[in-house]
Amino acid sequence: MDSDRYVCPSCGQPVPMVVRRHKMMGTYVPVWRPGHCENPECPAKGQEPGEARLRAPAAEVPHERIAHHHRRGRR
């Protein structure tokens, strides 16, 4: 299916999908992500695509967006 394919944001060429594992609730689950761009003329060749979008550093997350779920005893 074409809707399941990833493209490079720099050159627009399709990139392969790779599977990585992510630990969730004590077990590893597969996570499909875009792979490296294989276009030799691409300026982003060899860089991890989408890593900056997937995981932002904690310093860049606004404090009001951080959810505090443990509120027992506070009213």
Please say if the pLDDT value at position 16 is more than 60: yes
Say whether pTM exceeds 0.75: no
Residues 73 and 39: their CA atoms lie apart, in Å, by 56
Mean pLDDT of 11-36: 85
Residues 41 and 36: their CA atoms lie apart, in Å, by 13
Q: What does the domain layout of the chain look like in residue ranges?
A: 1-43
Q: What are phi and psi of 14, to 5 degrees?
A: -65, 145
pLDDT category at 53 given cuts 50, 70, 90 is very low
Q: How far is CA 18 from CA 21, 22, 33, 37, 63, in A?
A: 10, 13, 6, 12, 33
Mean pLDDT of 22-32: 88
Nearest to 37 by CA among 20, 54, 15, 17: 15
